[in-house]
């Protein structure tokens, strides 16, 4: 994607400097202060960048399949990967989600989301939801 103005390059560089480990995106207020512009101007530039992105991928990238992976942490066993058939909404980091079928194996149904990651590859969108809540696998399933 080719940015057309220096201000678009500045906006993208702010997002490129995002520290993934800190998990904190810059706020609109911070971006506005750095760029010295009004919110209406920023939103117009963001919309332009978004439209350019859509145009750059619209011809060559079709998503044909979505997978939802739930990664739960278990005492002594590390992470357990569960592939969900559906999810009615994508949870945010910090939200607690209900996983009713997990009670059969783990004895509990609630998990606090610590990370949501998206991967796009070969027309497939993979959503990985992570929780570091401590789950214990019931003995009969070990």
pLDDT tens per residue, range 43-60? 999 999 888 888 777 666
Q: Tell me 21's DSSP state.
A: T
pLDDT above 90 covers a percentage of the chain that reads: 19
pLDDT value at position 141?
47
77-81, 88-92, 95-99, 135-139: least confident range: 135-139
Q: Tell me 90's DSSP state.
A: P
User: How many Cα atoms within 13 Å fall on the side-chain side of residue 140?
Assistant: 5
Structural domain of residue 17, as residue ranges? 6-58
Same domain assignment for residues 82 and 119: yes
- pTM of the predicted model as reported, rounded to 2 decimal places: 0.52
Same domain assignment for residues 137 and 118: yes
- Answer yes or no: is 93 within a domain: yes
Q: Would strands 96-98 and 78-84 be described as parallel, antiparallel, or unpaired?
A: unpaired
What span, in angstroms and rounded, lies between the C-alpha atoms of 114 and 97? 11
- Answer yes or no: is 88 within a domain: yes
| Domain boundary residue, one of 39, 58, 77 | 58
Same domain assignment for residues 86 and 131: yes
Domain total in the chain: 2
Same domain assignment for residues 114 and 74: yes
Same domain assignment for residues 52 and 75: no
Same domain assignment for residues 50 and 99: no
pLDDT value at position 58?
67
Residue 131: band (very low, low, confident or very high) from pLDDT cuts 50, 70, 90: confident
Q: Would strands 124-135 and 110-121 be described as parallel, antiparallel, or unpaired?
A: antiparallel
Same domain assignment for residues 39 and 70: no
Residue 18: band (very low, low, confident or very high) from pLDDT cuts 50, 70, 90: confident
Same domain assignment for residues 98 and 135: yes
- Answer yes or no: is 1 within a domain: no
Residue 62: band (very low, low, confident or very high) from pLDDT cuts 50, 70, 90: confident
Same domain assignment for residues 19 and 50: yes
pLDDT value at position 56?
77
Sign (positive/negative) of CA torsion 38, 39, 44, 49?
positive
Compute the average pLDDT of residues 75-100: 80
């Amino acid at each position: 994607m080719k940015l057309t103005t220096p201000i678009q390059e500045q906006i993208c560089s702010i997002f490129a400097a995002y520290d993934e480990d800190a998990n904190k995106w810059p706020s609109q207020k911070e971006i506005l202060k750095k760029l010295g512009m009004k919110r209406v101007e920023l939103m117009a530039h963001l919309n332009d960048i978004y439209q350019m992105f859509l145009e750059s991928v619209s011809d060559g990238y079709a998503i044909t399949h979505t997978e939802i992976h739930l990664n739960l942490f278990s005492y002594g066993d590390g992470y357990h990967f569960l592939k969900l058939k559906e999810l009615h909404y994508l949870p945010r980091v910090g939200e607690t989600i209900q996983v009713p079928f997990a009670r059969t194996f783990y004895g509990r149904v609630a998990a606090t989301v610590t990370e949501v990651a998206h991967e796009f590859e070969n027309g497939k969108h993979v959503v990985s939801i992570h929780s570091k809540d401590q789950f214990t696998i019931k003995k009969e399933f070990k």
